[in-house]
Amino acid sequence: MLLAEGVAGPEKGGGSAAAAAAAAASGGAADNSIEHSDYRAKLTQIRQIYHTELEKYEQACNEFTTHVMNLLREQSRTRPISPKEIERMVGIIHRKFSSIQMQLKQSTCEAVMILRSRFLDARRKRRNFSKQATEILNEYFYSHLSNPYPSEEAKEELAKKCSITVSQVSNWFGNKRIRYKKNIGKFQEEANLYAAKTAVNAAHAAAAAVQNSQANSPTTPNSGFQMKDEEFQLDSAESKNTLLSNMFTGGYPAPCYQSDGRIQ
């Protein structure tokens, strides 16, 4: 973090104007969920406040120094003042102001830390995916029921389509697989729904294919697709959705169509 670099060490001291100023930058709304852009904006805001405050302090320091010098000069008319004494005074003033600047640095750093932790918390906070996104993910899942393990490329594409991250896609499939397996019955309806959906897509694709080339005879869908995980084999009689999807796809084990209707 840019601001953290300059801070030397822990500095005790009560609340200062600096602390208030820095806190104002991160505080403000009682909004817990901080978006990334929000986070960056607030960070620059803190930085700006830090710099303007620093400048102000510098100016104040100079002003105060000249003020004291004037006072001393005035006093020198009534009593002798050695240059050493003046030097000492200036030294005291500068030390005081630099300690104040330390506090500014400290509180700015604190503000950044608070902002950071809030941002991290916000990321940890769960937000449901959009309906569209779950639609796309479910379409992929149910049309790859025999092997619902998207490759890295597939994950990337899904992530792009759903505007979520690849690891979120991985999380989603991890959760979906385990929850589907745990209670297939509960997902029956959903499975049927998406089977029908992919079937419709397939029909459209088929129609388009026929239009494109009437001479081509329909090729037999790939009979040799692997079933890596027995858990997801669709030959079990208990899986009604299989029957239904088979009806739609002409009796082949699992629909192998992408969401846009193309054959894999």
Nearer to DNA, 160 or 179 (CB): 179
Residue 257: strand, helix, or coil: strand
Instruction: Provide, rounded to whole angstroms, the least separation between the CB of residue 262 and DNA.
Output: 23
Cβ-contact 137, 163 below 8 angstroms: no
Instruction: Provide, rounded to whole angstroms, the least separation between the CB of residue 232 and DNA.
Output: 8
Cβ-contact 140, 150 below 8 angstroms: yes
Nearer to DNA, 168 or 192 (CB): 168
Structure tokens that stand for 52 in this block: 């303007």
| Chain-centre distance for alpha carbon 154 | 21
Instruction: Provide, rounded to whole angstroms, the least separation between the CB of residue 140 and DNA.
Output: 13
Structure tokens that stand for 76 in this block: 């020198």
Instruction: Provide, rounded to whole angstroms, the least separation between the CB of residue 254 and DNA.
Output: 16
Instruction: Provide, rounded to whole angstroms, the least separation between the CB of residue 7 and DNA.
Output: 28
What residues contact residue 258 under an 8 Å CB cut-off, 6+ apart? 140, 143, 264
Cβ-contact 255, 195 below 8 angstroms: yes
Nearer to DNA, 32 or 78 (CB): 32
What's the length of the chain? 264
Instruction: Provide the binding-site residues for DNA, judged by CB under 7 A.
Output: 33, 123-129, 134, 149, 152, 168, 170-172, 174-175, 177-179, 181, 186, 229
Nearer to DNA, 134 or 188 (CB): 134
Residue 263: strand, helix, or coil: strand
Nearer to DNA, 179 or 262 (CB): 179
